[in-house]
Structure 1
Amino acid sequence: MTVPGSRSVGDDTARSDTTRSTAQETTKCVVRLRCSRSACEAARMGILHYGGADFEIDDRTLAHLKVVVAAKLRRKETVLISWNRPVQEGSGRVELLIFPEAPIVFRFQAGLPPRLNRVWLQVLQRLAGEPEGIRVISEEDAELLGKSRDH
């Protein structure tokens, strides 16, 4: 459970990675963390909308990112978020630079917010303070990083 990734929304063979709207070009990407089959099947997918792009992220991960990103934006700080794309989805890395002045929307599929994991938040906050910014990591990886930092 170590490599987050992204892929285009829609049919991989028939659709392009972008869809055009009349006002602006909108890009859609999916961020998926490796997880157990049952957890992935049960995951509700939310949307992070920024700069004309929609990034589909599971609600639980998005809720944790929202807390950390909002804290930085309230302090008028720029935030860098990144994740790796797995080989089967084209490889590479996605990096999203978020500025305090630009509108950002966190849209959740679930009606109620999930219970937040304090360790995951602490690890994401620590990553947000590093020059490389926030790497989207799984809850399990955050738990491991949190435990290794305690010892």
Structure 2
Amino acid sequence: MGKLMYGASLTPILIEDRALAHLKVVIVTKLRRQESFTLSWVHKDGEAPGRSTIWLHPSIPLRFVFEATEPPALNPAWINALSQTLSSTGGVSLVDEIIDPTRTG
């Protein structure tokens, strides 16, 4: 389970390593352009029911912590789907992975 450490909060946001790796690409791309936006997700089983949203800004410290030592292979379709959620006023939403049955590896 990966962790997203945001700002001065000592409470990590728990996100599966694979999802966090894909989110990282989208988030870093936006922040590199000095763009602010929101990130929303539905709480995992075992957490309080509901959903959360945080405001991401280039000046707020952000740290990605991965449980696995090796990065996963990235799925361009999933990165695109995550990026497409930015087109809405709701910012980035953690959507399920897009699986392409014709793609191998």
TM-score normalised per structure 1? 0.59
Deviations, residues 90-112 of structure 1 (Å, cap 9, x unaligned): 43221111111111000111111
Q: Which runs of 5+ in 2 are unaligned?
A: 101-105
| Matched residue SS, 1:62 | helix
Larger % of helix: which?
Answer: 1
Contact 1:48 1:54 in 2 (8 A): yes
Matched pairs, number: 98
1:64 to 22, 41, 53: 22
In the alignment, the residues of structure 2 paired with residue 85 and residue 59 of structure 1 have an alpha-carbon distance, to the nearest angstrom, of 15
Match of residue 108 from structure 1: 66
Give distance in 2, aligned partners of 1:72 and 1:134: 10
Aligned 8 A contact 1:80 1:98 in 2: yes
Identity %: 39
1:47 corresponding residue in structure 2: 3
Query: In structure 1, the residue corresponding to 2:12 is in which secondary structure?
Result: strand
| Amino acid paired to 1:76 | Q
- Preserved CA contact (<8 Å) 2:81 2:95: no
Q: Structure 2 CA distance, aligned partners of 1:105 and 1:87?
A: 23
**3-state SS of the aligned residue for 1:127?**
helix
Contact kept? 1:72, 1:78, Cα under 8 Å: yes
Greater share of residues in strand: 1
Kindly state the Cα deviation for residue 69 of structure 1 after the two structures are TM-superposed.
0.2
Among residues 86, 101, 105, which one is paired with 1:128 in the alignment?
86
* TM-score (normalizing by structure 2): 0.82
Aligned-partner Cα distance in 1 for 2:49–2:4: 21
Distance of 1:100 and 1:71 partners within structure 2: 11
Task: Point out which structure has higher relative CO (alpha carbons under 8 A, 6+ apart).
Answer: 2
